[in-house]
Amino acid sequence: MSRISTNSAHAHHTFEDIKHLDEQGNEFWYARSLAKVLDYSDFRNFIAVIEKVVTALEQSNMQVSDHIGEVTEMIEMGKGAQKAWPSFALSRHACYLIVQNADPSKPVIANGQVYFAIQARRQELADDANFQALEEDKKRLFLRHELKLHNKQLVETAAQAGVNTDLDFAIFQNHGYKGLYGGLDAKGIHAHKGLKKSQKILDHMGSTELAANLFRATQAEEKLKRDQTKSKAQANRTHFEVGQKIRQTIAELGGTMPEELPTPDKSIVKIEREQQKAIAPKPDQENEA
């Protein structure tokens, strides 16, 4: 391999070139290949750096085998020939620690520090995005469950005002939706979200939108009780006004209107199924019980 230029972009490209992916899609680097890129002519000197990293991992209570593993690496010997040499497979984090502990007099080391720092930050952001997605699913499940409970209570309270049949309650609910969604009823929200006929609008709302609807349901219930509403017409009007007031508050706070909030790709039903599958015992576990 020709001597590596100290040009940052070229060095980054070279570090990227020697990157590999395992069967799970995890990035790793072979130690001998990395040593050459980092301008170590004697691999024994590079092993000394790896030993420092092993110590650093142990002191951080990290599993060394998760970051450094003994492997056989095929090295080109010239004229297309290859020879197997003992080496190590290194995780991104291990490489990051290596360049932090490598010979600072080598100009290419600085490029390695920048490259692996960027790689580490990218992974942090990706992990954070996955974490946020997981937290959003949990919030949606919680809010959807709360909304189911409060909708049952709202049905009971509305019934005392004369909202008795399924059609009565559908009309009553649409008044609340129209107030909150700027005139859109359940059918209009369904169409606006581009949902299939079998899909329910509440199962395709994000946590912010579910929270607005939960507030609508709880406040409508409280106002119906407080005003001791005794007619369907008044109940419908109350529900519309509550929804409209919540919409007005969202506008005053500079928030996004409910109908403009993004529709999640994953439905509540799918999230529930995934959770049930995750906690369900495997066949061999059931046999052991």
pLDDT in tens, the chain (289 residues): 233 333 444 455 578 889 999 888 889 999 999 999 999 989 999 999 999 999 989 988 889 999 999 999 988 777 777 889 999 999 988 998 998 888 777 778 877 776 787 677 667 666 666 656 668 888 898 889 889 999 999 999 999 999 999 999 999 999 999 999 999 999 999 999 999 999 999 999 999 999 999 999 999 999 999 999 999 999 999 999 999 999 999 998 888 999 999 999 899 999 888 877 766 555 554 454 4
**pLDDT value of position 17:** 87
DSSP structural state of residue 202? G
Under 8 Å between Cβ of 227 and 159: no
- Cα–Cα distance, 102 to 226 (Å, whole number): 72
Query: In angstroms, how far is CA 271 from the centroid of its own chain?
Result: 13
H or E element at residue 140: helix 107-159
Across the strands, what pairs with 75? 83
The Cβ of residue 211 has, within 10 Å, a number of other Cβ atoms equal to 17
Angle formed at CA 92 by CA 47 and CA 23, multiple of 5 degrees: 105
Q: Taking the model in full, what pTM does it have?
A: 0.55
41 burial type by CB count under 10 A (0-12 exposed, 13-18 middle, 19+ buried): exposed
- Nearest-10 crossing angle of helices 232-252, 207-226: 140
**pLDDT value of position 1:** 27
**pLDDT value of position 288:** 47
Closest CA to 204 of 214, 190, 187: 190
Under 8 Å between Cβ of 11 and 5: yes
Closest CA to 169 of 234, 215, 246, 235: 235
DSSP structural state of residue 80? T
